Chains A and B, each alone.
Chain A
Protein backbone atom coordinates (compact mmCIF):
# COMPACT_ATOMS: atom_id res chain seq x y z
CA UNK A 1 0.00 0.00 0.00
CA UNK A 2 1.39 3.31 -1.02
CA UNK A 3 1.47 6.13 1.48
CA UNK A 4 -0.09 9.40 0.62
CA UNK A 5 1.81 12.57 1.20
CA UNK A 6 -0.43 15.45 2.05
CA UNK A 7 0.62 18.75 0.49
CA UNK A 8 2.68 20.80 2.98
CA UNK A 9 0.83 23.43 4.93
CA UNK A 10 1.61 26.95 3.74
CA UNK A 11 4.35 28.46 5.87
CA UNK A 12 3.16 31.23 8.16
CA UNK A 13 5.46 34.04 9.13
CA UNK A 14 5.86 35.00 12.78
CA UNK A 15 4.30 38.40 12.09
CA UNK A 16 1.15 36.71 10.80
CA UNK A 17 0.99 34.52 13.90
CA UNK A 18 1.39 37.56 16.15
CA UNK A 19 -1.30 39.36 14.20
CA UNK A 20 -3.74 36.48 14.61
CA UNK A 21 -3.07 36.37 18.35
CA UNK A 22 -3.47 40.13 18.68
CA UNK A 23 -6.79 40.11 16.82
CA UNK A 24 -8.07 37.22 18.92
CA UNK A 25 -7.11 39.01 22.14
CA UNK A 26 -8.74 42.23 20.94
CA UNK A 27 -11.99 40.46 20.03
CA UNK A 28 -12.08 38.61 23.36
CA UNK A 29 -11.43 41.87 25.24
CA UNK A 30 -14.26 43.53 23.31
CA UNK A 31 -16.70 40.80 24.28
CA UNK A 32 -15.59 40.79 27.91
CA UNK A 33 -16.12 44.57 28.02
CA UNK A 34 -19.51 44.17 26.38
CA UNK A 35 -20.92 41.46 28.59
CA UNK A 36 -19.55 42.96 31.81
CA UNK A 37 -20.90 46.37 30.91
CA UNK A 38 -24.37 45.51 29.73
CA UNK A 39 -27.02 45.39 32.37
CA UNK A 40 -30.10 43.43 31.38
CA UNK A 41 -32.84 43.10 33.96
CA UNK A 42 -33.79 39.53 33.03
CA UNK A 43 -36.21 39.06 35.90
CA UNK A 44 -38.37 41.99 34.95
CA UNK A 45 -38.21 41.30 31.23
CA UNK A 46 -39.35 37.69 31.69
CA UNK A 47 -42.04 38.65 34.18
CA UNK A 48 -43.37 41.31 31.80
CA UNK A 49 -43.15 38.97 28.85
CA UNK A 50 -45.21 36.29 30.59
CA UNK A 51 -47.81 38.88 31.54
CA UNK A 52 -48.01 40.59 28.14
CA UNK A 53 -47.39 37.90 25.57
CA UNK A 54 -50.87 36.41 25.74
CA UNK A 55 -52.46 39.84 25.56
CA UNK A 56 -50.35 41.62 22.98
CA UNK A 57 -49.79 39.01 20.29
CA UNK A 58 -53.43 38.00 19.63
CA UNK A 59 -54.41 41.66 19.49
CA UNK A 60 -51.63 42.42 16.99
CA UNK A 61 -53.03 39.77 14.68
CA UNK A 62 -56.61 41.07 14.88
CA UNK A 63 -56.24 44.60 13.45
CA UNK A 64 -58.74 47.28 14.39
CA UNK A 65 -60.32 48.03 11.01
CA UNK A 66 -62.24 51.03 12.41
CA UNK A 67 -59.02 53.04 12.33
CA UNK A 68 -58.47 52.31 8.64
CA UNK A 69 -59.40 55.84 7.51
CA UNK A 70 -56.97 57.56 9.84
CA UNK A 71 -54.19 55.05 9.20
CA UNK A 72 -54.46 55.32 5.42
CA UNK A 73 -54.44 59.12 5.63
CA UNK A 74 -51.26 59.04 7.72
CA UNK A 75 -49.60 56.45 5.53
CA UNK A 76 -50.30 58.70 2.53
CA UNK A 77 -48.62 61.55 4.38
CA UNK A 78 -45.67 59.21 4.99
CA UNK A 79 -45.42 58.54 1.25
CA UNK A 80 -45.60 62.28 0.53
CA UNK A 81 -42.77 62.98 2.98
CA UNK A 82 -40.60 60.23 1.51
CA UNK A 83 -41.28 61.35 -2.05
CA UNK A 84 -40.65 65.06 -1.51
CA UNK A 85 -37.55 64.29 0.58
CA UNK A 86 -35.97 61.82 -1.80
CA UNK A 87 -36.64 64.01 -4.85
CA UNK A 88 -34.94 66.94 -3.12
CA UNK A 89 -32.05 64.68 -2.18
CA UNK A 90 -31.82 63.29 -5.72
CA UNK A 91 -31.27 66.84 -6.99
CA UNK A 92 -29.10 68.10 -4.11
CA UNK A 93 -26.82 65.10 -4.45
CA UNK A 94 -25.95 65.82 -8.10
CA UNK A 95 -23.53 68.72 -7.50
CA UNK A 96 -22.08 66.96 -4.44
CA UNK A 97 -21.67 63.74 -6.39
CA UNK A 98 -19.79 65.54 -9.17
CA UNK A 99 -17.67 67.36 -6.60
CA UNK A 100 -16.69 64.09 -4.92
CA UNK A 101 -15.90 62.31 -8.20
CA UNK A 102 -12.20 62.46 -8.86
CA UNK A 103 -12.39 62.44 -12.66
CA UNK A 104 -14.74 65.45 -12.72
CA UNK A 105 -13.35 67.73 -10.02
CA UNK A 106 -9.83 67.21 -11.37
CA UNK A 107 -7.83 67.21 -8.16
CA UNK A 108 -7.61 64.73 -5.33
CA UNK A 109 -7.95 67.57 -2.85
CA UNK A 110 -11.31 68.86 -4.14
CA UNK A 111 -12.83 65.40 -4.46
CA UNK A 112 -11.51 64.65 -0.97
CA UNK A 113 -13.46 67.62 0.39
CA UNK A 114 -16.58 66.40 -1.39
CA UNK A 115 -16.14 62.90 0.05
CA UNK A 116 -15.68 64.29 3.57
CA UNK A 117 -18.84 66.41 3.30
CA UNK A 118 -20.82 63.37 2.15
CA UNK A 119 -19.55 61.03 4.86
CA UNK A 120 -20.14 63.79 7.40
CA UNK A 121 -23.78 63.96 6.37
CA UNK A 122 -24.08 60.17 6.38
CA UNK A 123 -22.85 59.94 9.96
CA UNK A 124 -26.05 61.59 11.23
CA UNK A 125 -28.87 59.09 11.69
CA UNK A 126 -32.12 60.26 10.01
CA UNK A 127 -33.88 60.53 13.31
CA UNK A 128 -31.26 62.85 14.82
CA UNK A 129 -31.66 65.15 11.81
CA UNK A 130 -35.42 64.95 12.32
CA UNK A 131 -35.01 66.02 15.97
CA UNK A 132 -32.94 69.04 14.87
CA UNK A 133 -35.48 70.04 12.22
CA UNK A 134 -38.39 69.57 14.58
CA UNK A 135 -36.72 71.99 16.95
CA UNK A 136 -36.07 74.40 14.08
CA UNK A 137 -39.32 74.39 12.09
CA UNK A 138 -41.77 72.90 14.56
CA UNK A 139 -43.43 69.48 14.78
CA UNK A 140 -44.85 69.02 11.29
CA UNK A 141 -44.32 67.05 8.11
CA UNK A 142 -42.02 69.70 6.66
CA UNK A 143 -39.40 68.84 9.31
CA UNK A 144 -39.65 65.25 8.13
CA UNK A 145 -39.17 66.25 4.49
CA UNK A 146 -36.05 68.23 5.40
CA UNK A 147 -34.63 65.37 7.50
CA UNK A 148 -35.18 62.86 4.69
CA UNK A 149 -33.76 65.29 2.09
CA UNK A 150 -30.55 65.95 4.01
CA UNK A 151 -30.14 62.38 5.25
CA UNK A 152 -30.53 60.87 1.78
CA UNK A 153 -28.18 63.38 0.17
CA UNK A 154 -25.25 61.78 1.99
CA UNK A 155 -25.81 58.30 0.62
CA UNK A 156 -27.03 59.35 -2.83
CA UNK A 157 -24.08 61.71 -3.27
CA UNK A 158 -21.69 58.87 -2.51
CA UNK A 159 -23.40 56.48 -4.94
CA UNK A 160 -23.58 59.21 -7.61
CA UNK A 161 -19.87 59.98 -7.27
CA UNK A 162 -19.06 56.28 -7.71
CA UNK A 163 -21.20 56.23 -10.88
CA UNK A 164 -19.46 59.34 -12.25
CA UNK A 165 -16.05 57.88 -11.45
CA UNK A 166 -16.88 54.72 -13.41
CA UNK A 167 -17.87 56.44 -16.69
CA UNK A 168 -15.96 55.85 -19.91
CA UNK A 169 -13.56 58.80 -20.10
CA UNK A 170 -12.64 58.02 -23.72
CA UNK A 171 -15.91 59.58 -24.89
CA UNK A 172 -15.11 62.74 -22.97
CA UNK A 173 -11.56 62.87 -24.38
CA UNK A 174 -12.82 62.33 -27.91
CA UNK A 175 -15.27 65.19 -27.56
CA UNK A 176 -12.56 67.41 -26.07
CA UNK A 177 -10.27 66.57 -28.99
CA UNK A 178 -12.93 67.46 -31.54
CA UNK A 179 -13.40 70.85 -29.94
CA UNK A 180 -16.49 70.51 -27.76
CA UNK A 181 -16.81 72.96 -24.88
CA UNK A 182 -17.43 71.97 -21.25
CA UNK A 183 -21.21 72.25 -21.44
CA UNK A 184 -21.41 70.18 -24.61
CA UNK A 185 -19.23 67.52 -23.01
CA UNK A 186 -21.47 67.47 -19.95
CA UNK A 187 -24.70 67.12 -21.93
CA UNK A 188 -23.59 64.79 -24.71
CA UNK A 189 -20.64 62.95 -23.18
CA UNK A 190 -21.27 62.56 -19.45
CA UNK A 191 -25.02 62.76 -18.84
CA UNK A 192 -26.11 59.95 -21.22
CA UNK A 193 -23.72 57.63 -19.40
CA UNK A 194 -24.90 58.42 -15.89
CA UNK A 195 -28.63 59.17 -16.12
CA UNK A 196 -29.91 55.55 -15.95
CA UNK A 197 -27.85 54.75 -12.86
CA UNK A 198 -28.64 58.07 -11.17
CA UNK A 199 -32.36 57.41 -11.66
CA UNK A 200 -32.05 53.85 -10.45
CA UNK A 201 -30.27 54.92 -7.25
CA UNK A 202 -32.77 57.73 -6.65
CA UNK A 203 -35.67 55.27 -6.92
CA UNK A 204 -33.86 52.82 -4.64
CA UNK A 205 -33.39 55.61 -2.11
CA UNK A 206 -37.12 56.32 -2.28
CA UNK A 207 -37.67 52.72 -1.12
CA UNK A 208 -35.35 53.29 1.83
CA UNK A 209 -36.97 56.63 2.61
CA UNK A 210 -40.44 55.09 2.82
CA UNK A 211 -39.17 53.01 5.74
CA UNK A 212 -37.33 55.97 7.26
CA UNK A 213 -40.28 58.35 7.04
CA UNK A 214 -42.62 55.87 8.68
CA UNK A 215 -40.72 56.30 11.95
CA UNK A 216 -40.04 60.05 11.78
CA UNK A 217 -43.35 60.74 13.53
CA UNK A 218 -41.87 59.27 16.72
CA UNK A 219 -40.03 62.57 17.21
CA UNK A 220 -42.96 64.59 15.82
CA UNK A 221 -41.86 65.00 12.22
CA UNK A 222 -45.09 63.88 10.56
CA UNK A 223 -46.26 60.62 9.04
CA UNK A 224 -47.52 57.45 10.64
CA UNK A 225 -44.87 57.37 13.39
CA UNK A 226 -46.96 59.56 15.67
CA UNK A 227 -49.83 57.05 15.49
CA UNK A 228 -47.37 54.29 16.38
CA UNK A 229 -46.32 56.23 19.47
CA UNK A 230 -49.92 56.89 20.52
CA UNK A 231 -50.98 53.31 19.91
CA UNK A 232 -48.03 52.04 21.97
CA UNK A 233 -48.53 54.40 24.89
CA UNK A 234 -52.29 53.73 24.99
CA UNK A 235 -51.49 50.02 24.66
CA UNK A 236 -53.95 49.93 21.76
CA UNK A 237 -52.46 46.82 20.15
CA UNK A 238 -55.34 46.30 17.72
CA UNK A 239 -54.60 49.63 16.12
CA UNK A 240 -50.88 48.84 16.19
CA UNK A 241 -51.66 45.65 14.27
CA UNK A 242 -53.38 47.65 11.55
CA UNK A 243 -50.51 50.16 11.37
CA UNK A 244 -47.98 47.34 11.04
CA UNK A 245 -50.09 45.72 8.33
CA UNK A 246 -50.33 49.05 6.48
CA UNK A 247 -46.54 49.58 6.64
CA UNK A 248 -45.83 46.03 5.47
CA UNK A 249 -48.27 46.34 2.55
CA UNK A 250 -47.11 49.79 1.43
CA UNK A 251 -43.40 48.95 1.68
CA UNK A 252 -43.85 45.65 -0.17
CA UNK A 253 -45.88 47.25 -2.97
CA UNK A 254 -43.44 50.13 -3.41
CA UNK A 255 -40.42 47.79 -3.28
CA UNK A 256 -42.02 45.62 -5.96
CA UNK A 257 -42.76 48.45 -8.38
CA UNK A 258 -39.47 50.21 -7.74
CA UNK A 259 -37.55 47.01 -8.45
CA UNK A 260 -39.52 46.60 -11.69
CA UNK A 261 -38.83 50.17 -12.82
CA UNK A 262 -35.16 49.89 -11.92
CA UNK A 263 -34.78 46.68 -13.88
CA UNK A 264 -36.28 48.43 -16.89
CA UNK A 265 -34.04 51.51 -16.61
CA UNK A 266 -30.64 49.89 -16.20
Chain B
Protein backbone atom coordinates (compact mmCIF):
# COMPACT_ATOMS: atom_id res chain seq x y z
CA UNK B 1 0.00 0.00 0.00
CA UNK B 2 2.70 2.44 0.99
CA UNK B 3 4.67 1.47 -2.08
CA UNK B 4 1.74 2.25 -4.29
CA UNK B 5 1.26 5.67 -2.71
CA UNK B 6 4.89 6.46 -3.26
CA UNK B 7 4.51 5.64 -6.92
CA UNK B 8 1.55 7.95 -7.17
CA UNK B 9 3.43 10.90 -5.79
CA UNK B 10 6.40 10.31 -8.07
CA UNK B 11 4.33 10.26 -11.24
CA UNK B 12 4.64 13.58 -12.97
CA UNK B 13 1.60 15.47 -14.08
CA UNK B 14 1.02 14.82 -17.77
CA UNK B 15 2.03 17.68 -20.00
CA UNK B 16 -0.86 19.89 -21.06
CA UNK B 17 0.57 20.18 -24.57
CA UNK B 18 0.10 17.24 -26.99
CA UNK B 19 3.22 15.59 -28.39
CA UNK B 20 2.46 16.72 -31.94
CA UNK B 21 2.41 20.39 -30.93
CA UNK B 22 5.69 19.90 -29.11
CA UNK B 23 7.51 18.57 -32.17
CA UNK B 24 5.98 21.28 -34.33
CA UNK B 25 7.06 24.01 -31.93
CA UNK B 26 10.57 22.55 -31.69
CA UNK B 27 10.94 22.43 -35.46
CA UNK B 28 9.70 26.01 -35.83
CA UNK B 29 11.98 27.20 -33.03
CA UNK B 30 14.95 25.44 -34.62
CA UNK B 31 14.17 26.99 -38.00
CA UNK B 32 13.84 30.47 -36.47
CA UNK B 33 17.17 30.17 -34.63
CA UNK B 34 18.94 28.77 -37.69
CA UNK B 35 17.60 31.60 -39.84
CA UNK B 36 18.66 34.10 -37.19
CA UNK B 37 22.22 32.76 -37.03
CA UNK B 38 22.45 32.80 -40.83
CA UNK B 39 21.07 36.36 -40.91
CA UNK B 40 23.60 37.54 -38.34
CA UNK B 41 26.38 35.80 -40.25
CA UNK B 42 25.32 37.55 -43.45
CA UNK B 43 24.83 40.87 -41.67
CA UNK B 44 28.36 41.07 -40.33
CA UNK B 45 30.42 39.35 -43.01
CA UNK B 46 31.48 42.69 -44.52
CA UNK B 47 32.32 44.12 -41.13
CA UNK B 48 35.94 44.70 -40.24
CA UNK B 49 37.01 43.13 -36.96
CA UNK B 50 33.78 41.33 -36.00
CA UNK B 51 31.37 42.07 -33.18
CA UNK B 52 33.98 42.22 -30.38
CA UNK B 53 35.86 45.21 -31.74
CA UNK B 54 32.60 46.82 -32.82
CA UNK B 55 31.39 47.02 -29.24
CA UNK B 56 34.56 48.67 -27.94
CA UNK B 57 34.55 50.96 -30.96
CA UNK B 58 30.92 51.83 -30.28
CA UNK B 59 31.82 53.04 -26.82
CA UNK B 60 34.74 55.19 -27.99
CA UNK B 61 32.55 56.80 -30.66
CA UNK B 62 29.61 57.37 -28.34
CA UNK B 63 31.86 59.30 -25.95
CA UNK B 64 32.66 61.75 -28.75
CA UNK B 65 28.98 62.78 -28.92
CA UNK B 66 29.18 64.20 -25.39
CA UNK B 67 28.91 66.87 -24.16
CA UNK B 68 26.39 68.16 -26.71
CA UNK B 69 27.01 71.66 -28.01
CA UNK B 70 23.90 73.59 -26.92
CA UNK B 71 25.05 76.84 -28.53
CA UNK B 72 23.62 75.72 -31.86
CA UNK B 73 20.06 75.28 -30.57
CA UNK B 74 18.95 78.68 -31.86
CA UNK B 75 20.52 77.93 -35.24
CA UNK B 76 18.64 74.65 -35.73
CA UNK B 77 15.26 75.94 -34.55
CA UNK B 78 14.17 77.25 -38.00
CA UNK B 79 14.83 73.81 -39.50
CA UNK B 80 12.90 72.13 -36.71
CA UNK B 81 10.00 74.55 -37.28
CA UNK B 82 10.10 73.70 -40.99
CA UNK B 83 9.92 70.01 -40.11
CA UNK B 84 6.80 70.53 -38.00
CA UNK B 85 5.22 72.75 -40.66
CA UNK B 86 5.79 70.07 -43.29
CA UNK B 87 4.05 67.51 -41.10
CA UNK B 88 1.11 69.86 -40.43
CA UNK B 89 0.54 70.64 -44.11
CA UNK B 90 0.91 67.01 -45.15
CA UNK B 91 -1.47 65.77 -42.46
CA UNK B 92 -4.07 68.42 -43.36
CA UNK B 93 -4.00 67.64 -47.07
CA UNK B 94 -4.05 63.90 -46.41
CA UNK B 95 -7.00 64.28 -44.02
CA UNK B 96 -8.98 66.08 -46.74
CA UNK B 97 -8.04 63.70 -49.55
CA UNK B 98 -8.72 60.66 -47.42
CA UNK B 99 -12.46 61.36 -47.11
CA UNK B 100 -13.48 60.35 -50.66
CA UNK B 101 -10.85 57.59 -50.73
CA UNK B 102 -12.05 56.08 -47.46
CA UNK B 103 -15.70 56.28 -48.53
CA UNK B 104 -14.89 54.52 -51.80
CA UNK B 105 -12.95 51.75 -50.05
CA UNK B 106 -15.55 51.09 -47.36
CA UNK B 107 -17.61 48.00 -48.10
CA UNK B 108 -20.90 49.36 -46.77
CA UNK B 109 -20.74 52.66 -48.70
CA UNK B 110 -19.16 51.55 -51.97
CA UNK B 111 -21.69 48.83 -52.66
CA UNK B 112 -20.45 48.39 -56.22
CA UNK B 113 -17.89 45.58 -55.70
CA UNK B 114 -15.27 46.40 -58.40
CA UNK B 115 -14.86 49.98 -57.12
CA UNK B 116 -14.33 48.75 -53.58
CA UNK B 117 -11.84 46.14 -54.80
CA UNK B 118 -9.85 48.55 -56.99
CA UNK B 119 -9.50 51.16 -54.24
CA UNK B 120 -8.57 48.56 -51.61
CA UNK B 121 -5.81 47.15 -53.82
CA UNK B 122 -4.58 50.63 -54.65
CA UNK B 123 -4.32 51.51 -50.95
CA UNK B 124 -2.59 48.22 -50.15
CA UNK B 125 0.08 48.85 -52.78
CA UNK B 126 0.45 52.46 -51.63
CA UNK B 127 1.15 51.30 -48.10
CA UNK B 128 3.97 48.93 -49.09
CA UNK B 129 6.26 51.75 -50.30
CA UNK B 130 8.28 53.24 -47.42
CA UNK B 131 8.00 57.00 -46.96
CA UNK B 132 11.67 57.66 -47.60
CA UNK B 133 11.58 55.80 -50.92
CA UNK B 134 8.71 58.05 -51.99
CA UNK B 135 10.79 61.04 -50.92
CA UNK B 136 13.75 59.84 -53.01
CA UNK B 137 11.45 59.48 -56.01
CA UNK B 138 9.86 62.90 -55.59
CA UNK B 139 13.22 64.60 -55.03
CA UNK B 140 14.26 63.07 -58.34
CA UNK B 141 11.16 64.49 -60.03
CA UNK B 142 10.74 67.91 -58.39
CA UNK B 143 14.26 68.72 -57.24
CA UNK B 144 15.58 69.28 -53.73
CA UNK B 145 13.30 71.18 -51.35
CA UNK B 146 10.30 71.11 -49.05
CA UNK B 147 7.75 70.31 -51.75
CA UNK B 148 8.82 66.71 -52.54
CA UNK B 149 9.00 66.02 -48.82
CA UNK B 150 5.44 67.21 -48.23
CA UNK B 151 4.25 65.24 -51.24
CA UNK B 152 5.91 62.06 -49.94
CA UNK B 153 4.32 62.54 -46.52
CA UNK B 154 0.89 63.12 -48.09
CA UNK B 155 1.01 59.95 -50.19
CA UNK B 156 2.43 57.89 -47.34
CA UNK B 157 -0.07 59.04 -44.72
CA UNK B 158 -2.95 58.79 -47.20
CA UNK B 159 -2.37 55.04 -47.37
CA UNK B 160 -2.53 54.57 -43.60
CA UNK B 161 -5.31 57.07 -42.94
CA UNK B 162 -7.65 55.86 -45.67
CA UNK B 163 -7.33 52.29 -44.48
CA UNK B 164 -7.98 53.14 -40.81
CA UNK B 165 -10.93 55.39 -41.64
CA UNK B 166 -12.51 53.03 -44.15
CA UNK B 167 -12.43 50.36 -41.43
CA UNK B 168 -14.14 52.81 -39.04
CA UNK B 169 -16.80 53.55 -41.64
CA UNK B 170 -17.37 49.82 -42.14
CA UNK B 171 -17.95 49.41 -38.41
CA UNK B 172 -20.58 52.17 -38.33
CA UNK B 173 -24.09 51.39 -37.05
CA UNK B 174 -26.24 51.57 -40.22
CA UNK B 175 -29.58 51.82 -38.37
CA UNK B 176 -29.53 55.61 -37.75
CA UNK B 177 -28.69 56.15 -41.41
CA UNK B 178 -31.65 54.04 -42.50
CA UNK B 179 -33.90 55.79 -39.99
CA UNK B 180 -32.98 59.22 -41.37
CA UNK B 181 -33.52 58.01 -44.91
CA UNK B 182 -36.88 56.48 -43.95
CA UNK B 183 -38.07 59.74 -42.39
CA UNK B 184 -37.28 61.60 -45.59
CA UNK B 185 -33.70 62.82 -45.26
CA UNK B 186 -31.73 63.25 -48.47
CA UNK B 187 -28.26 61.77 -49.03
CA UNK B 188 -26.52 64.86 -47.73
CA UNK B 189 -28.60 64.83 -44.55
CA UNK B 190 -28.02 61.10 -44.11
CA UNK B 191 -24.27 61.65 -44.26
CA UNK B 192 -24.12 64.77 -42.11
CA UNK B 193 -26.52 63.58 -39.36
CA UNK B 194 -26.04 59.80 -39.52
CA UNK B 195 -22.50 59.08 -40.60
CA UNK B 196 -20.42 62.08 -39.55
CA UNK B 197 -21.30 62.07 -35.80
CA UNK B 198 -20.37 58.38 -35.60
CA UNK B 199 -17.07 58.71 -37.45
CA UNK B 200 -15.84 62.15 -36.35
CA UNK B 201 -14.17 61.26 -33.00
CA UNK B 202 -12.34 58.31 -34.55
CA UNK B 203 -11.44 60.42 -37.57
CA UNK B 204 -9.86 63.16 -35.44
CA UNK B 205 -8.02 60.61 -33.35
CA UNK B 206 -6.59 58.87 -36.43
CA UNK B 207 -5.58 62.20 -37.98
CA UNK B 208 -3.65 63.05 -34.81
CA UNK B 209 -2.05 59.59 -34.83
CA UNK B 210 -0.97 60.07 -38.44
CA UNK B 211 0.36 63.51 -37.49
CA UNK B 212 2.63 61.82 -34.94
CA UNK B 213 3.85 59.40 -37.62
CA UNK B 214 4.41 62.32 -40.00
CA UNK B 215 6.51 64.19 -37.43
CA UNK B 216 8.83 61.21 -37.06
CA UNK B 217 8.95 60.71 -40.82
CA UNK B 218 9.59 64.37 -41.64
CA UNK B 219 12.51 64.43 -39.19
CA UNK B 220 14.45 62.05 -41.43
CA UNK B 221 13.23 63.26 -44.85
CA UNK B 222 16.07 65.76 -44.99
CA UNK B 223 18.55 62.90 -45.30
CA UNK B 224 17.50 62.51 -48.93
CA UNK B 225 17.19 66.25 -49.56
CA UNK B 226 13.45 66.62 -48.97
CA UNK B 227 13.58 69.48 -46.44
CA UNK B 228 13.51 69.65 -42.68
CA UNK B 229 16.03 69.05 -39.94
CA UNK B 230 17.44 65.79 -41.31
CA UNK B 231 19.59 67.67 -43.80
CA UNK B 232 21.46 69.54 -41.06
CA UNK B 233 21.92 66.34 -39.06
CA UNK B 234 23.36 64.61 -42.10
CA UNK B 235 25.77 67.52 -42.71
CA UNK B 236 26.96 67.62 -39.10
CA UNK B 237 27.61 63.85 -39.05
CA UNK B 238 29.40 64.22 -42.38
CA UNK B 239 31.69 66.91 -40.92
CA UNK B 240 32.38 64.62 -37.90
CA UNK B 241 30.87 67.39 -35.75
CA UNK B 242 29.39 65.00 -33.22
CA UNK B 243 28.54 67.44 -30.35
CA UNK B 244 26.39 69.47 -32.78
CA UNK B 245 24.78 66.29 -34.10
CA UNK B 246 23.96 65.23 -30.56
CA UNK B 247 22.23 68.57 -29.92
CA UNK B 248 20.10 68.07 -33.03
CA UNK B 249 19.20 64.56 -31.89
CA UNK B 250 18.23 65.84 -28.44
CA UNK B 251 16.06 68.59 -29.98
CA UNK B 252 14.33 66.00 -32.18
CA UNK B 253 13.84 63.77 -29.15
CA UNK B 254 12.27 66.54 -27.08
CA UNK B 255 9.97 67.74 -29.87
CA UNK B 256 8.77 64.23 -30.71
CA UNK B 257 8.05 63.43 -27.06
CA UNK B 258 6.25 66.76 -26.51
CA UNK B 259 4.06 66.39 -29.60
CA UNK B 260 3.24 62.78 -28.76
CA UNK B 261 2.27 63.76 -25.24
CA UNK B 262 -0.06 66.55 -26.40
CA UNK B 263 -1.59 64.43 -29.13
CA UNK B 264 -2.12 61.52 -26.70
CA UNK B 265 -3.91 63.84 -24.27
CA UNK B 266 -6.19 65.17 -27.01
CA UNK B 267 -6.96 61.66 -28.25
CA UNK B 268 -7.79 60.47 -24.74
CA UNK B 269 -10.17 63.41 -24.34
CA UNK B 270 -11.80 62.64 -27.69
CA UNK B 271 -12.62 58.96 -27.27
Contact with A along B126-157 (1 / 0, CB 8 A): 00111111001101111101111010000000
Contact B142 A49 (CB under 8 A): yes
Q: How large is the interface on B (under 10, 10 to 19, 20 to 34, 35 or more residues)?
A: 35 or more
Contact B129 A48 (CB under 8 A): no
Contact with A along B227-271 (1 / 0, CB 8 A): 000100110010000100000010011001100100000000000
Asked if B39 is an interface residue, CB under 8 A from chain A, the answer is yes
Partner of A128, one of B32, B88, B219: B219
Residues of B within 8 A of A133 (CB): 58
Residues of B within 8 A of A45 (CB): 142-143, 145, 147-148
Residues of B within 8 A of A42 (CB): 147
Residues of B within 8 A of A123 (CB): 253, 256-257, 260
Contact B43 A81 (CB under 8 A): yes
Asked if B210 is an interface residue, CB under 8 A from chain A, the answer is no
Identify which of A49, A77, A137, A145 gathers the most chain B CB atoms within 10 Å of its CB.
A137
Asked if B118 is an interface residue, CB under 8 A from chain A, the answer is no
Instruction: Give the docked Cα–Cα distance between A35 and B86 (Å).
Output: 10
Instruction: Give the docked Cα–Cα distance between A142 and B42 (Å).
Output: 9
Given contacts A38-B146, A45-B143, contact A84 B39 (CB under 8 A): yes
Asked if A211 is an interface residue, CB under 8 A from chain B, the answer is yes
Asked if A1 is an interface residue, CB under 8 A from chain B, the answer is no
Residues of B within 8 A of A235 (CB): 140
- B residues 168-203 touching A (CB-CB < 8 Å): none
Please name the residue on chain A nearest to B136 by beta carbon.
A232
Given contacts A30-B88, A128-B220, contact A211 B40 (CB under 8 A): no
Please name the residue on chain A nearest to B53 by beta carbon.
A137
Q: From residue B154, how far is it (CB to closest CB) to chain A in Å?
A: 13
Please name the residue on chain B nearest to A251 by beta carbon.
B128
Identify which of A38, A212, A222, A225 gathers the most chain B CB atoms within 10 Å of its CB.
A38
Other A-B contacts than A136-B62, A228-B133, 9 sampled, CB-CB below 8 A, are A35-B89, A38-B85, A41-B145, A80-B39, A128-B220, A136-B57, A142-B47, A240-B137, A244-B137
10 closest Cβ pairs, A-B complex: A80-B39, A136-B58, A141-B43, A84-B39, A251-B128, A127-B220, A137-B54, A215-B132, A142-B44, A48-B143
